[in-house]
Amino acid sequence: MSSRREFLKTAAGAAATLSAFSYAKTAGANDRLSIGLIGCGSRMKGSIMPSVNNYAKAHNLEITAVCDPWRLAREEAAAMCKDWFGRDPLQYVSYRQLLEESGVDAVMIASPEHLHTTHLKAAAEAKKDAYCEKPLGKDLEPLKAACDAVKANNVIVQAGTQLRSYPAMMGARQYFGTGALGKISRIEQHRNAARPYWYGYLRDVKEADVDWAEFLGDRPMRPFDPVLYSGWYGYREFSDGAIPSLGAHYIDLVHSITGAGFPRSVVAMSNTYIWKDEHNFDAPDHVTAVWEYDEGFAVHYSTNFGNGGGSTFKIFGNQGIMDLQDWSNIYVSGEGAFGETNLPKDRVRVDDMPCPDHIEDWIQCVRSRKTPNAHIDAGYQHAVAVMMAVRASDTGRRQIYDRETREIREA
């Protein structure tokens, strides 16, 4: 065990004589927020870290520790921190080291999807507030355990469904609440691309640079595979494809805008029609799911990774349509209404609703202890909805969610 622990420390972490907490305090600000990063891939480095840095001075915070099983990703994230904050953060291979040995106040989790609940549960049990990327979980039992740990330890958690914090989407929610669209019957999104996104992540990764066991987590050990490691999005063992990875954003927006509860039921299908090659990806390149809600409407989602045309996102009411395809510009019109409607014939833009962005909202809530926009129950709700769809596709049978037992089962 001791040799394992020593291996998990990088040179920077082993040489450090201060915890991340005391390290942050040496800057002379007693209330400085010390943040640790779990998972330093493209999502973390390309989006989350720059957003945190944008608010560092205004909210008196600093990234003081980073961890990732891949040395190159870890060191790239550390270099960004050094550039922004003027000194090296502590570096760890394992989340365990970061949580056990670093005095971080809060963590941001952008690890592979099969590890989200593992990292979130551990952070909650260490009483660290957390930001966790979507989907919040891949499997139901670990999801429930992680969410229970969050509530038991009274930590602030923001799920990474950042679209619900866009001013345009907040405006859409406000407009939807006026009832101007009339009775809603159908909400749909088609999110297409010419090629599955997982191909874009393939890298030449060296085994010597990776803690392979740390990446696998509770998955069975097998020889190192650089394609599996870098292209994990395309393998069902680690991600269930477009419905949870892309559809989580969509179904979360449906919940946020309409105020709907858990789906009543879902049917789904999926297959691979185009992208069959030497990589043997088993995440499907075509998916279709239909959720039914007690609020009285159906929600349709599909992805076709064979042609990038035909993408759309609309809410259909008997008085008109809301078009949400442009996430920053939402429009409504009387298109398709039967008889008279108060909505205009030509589409008009819905007013934005000013609000903090998703990262700033989380930071503010960590400070104030208020409930963030994508709170733990919202994260649990989107995760359950996409798990229902995945299970419906896998079994070919309609799935329902039992709110009392918190179980997904066949109808």
Q: What are the CA-CA distances from residue 80 to residues 27, 210, 380, 387 (Å)?
A: 18, 20, 32, 35
Report the alpha-carbon distance of residue 310 to residue 49 in Å, rounded.
33
The residue whose two tokens read 């205004």 is 58
pLDDT at 332: 98
Q: How far apart are the first and last CA of the chain?
A: 47
Report the alpha-carbon distance of residue 13 to residue 5 in Å, rounded.
12
36, β-bridge pairs: 65, 107
Report the alpha-carbon distance of residue 23 to residue 16 in Å, rounded.
9
pLDDT at 102: 78
**Is 164-354+375-410 a CATH 3.30.360.10 domain?**
yes
pLDDT at 30: 65
Question: Among positive and negative, which fits the CA dihedral 270, 274, 276, 280?
Answer: negative
Q: Name the stretches of the chain with pLDDT < 50.
A: 1-18, 20-29
**Is 2-162 a CATH 3.40.50.720 domain?**
yes
What is the enclosing helix (H) or strand (E) of 144?
Answer: helix 140-152
Start and end residues for every CATH 3.40.50.720 domain found in the chain: 2-162
- Angle at alpha carbon of residue 187, lines to 184 and 188, rounded to 5°: 160
- Angle at alpha carbon of residue 152, lines to 148 and 372, rounded to 5°: 80
Say if strands 320-323 and 312-317 run parallel, antiparallel, or are unpaired: antiparallel
Q: Which amino acid is at 241?
A: G
Is the model's pTM score more than 0.75? Answer: yes
Start and end residues for every CATH 3.30.360.10 domain found in the chain: 164-354+375-410
Q: Nearest Cα to 315, choosing from 360, 263, 369, 254?
A: 254
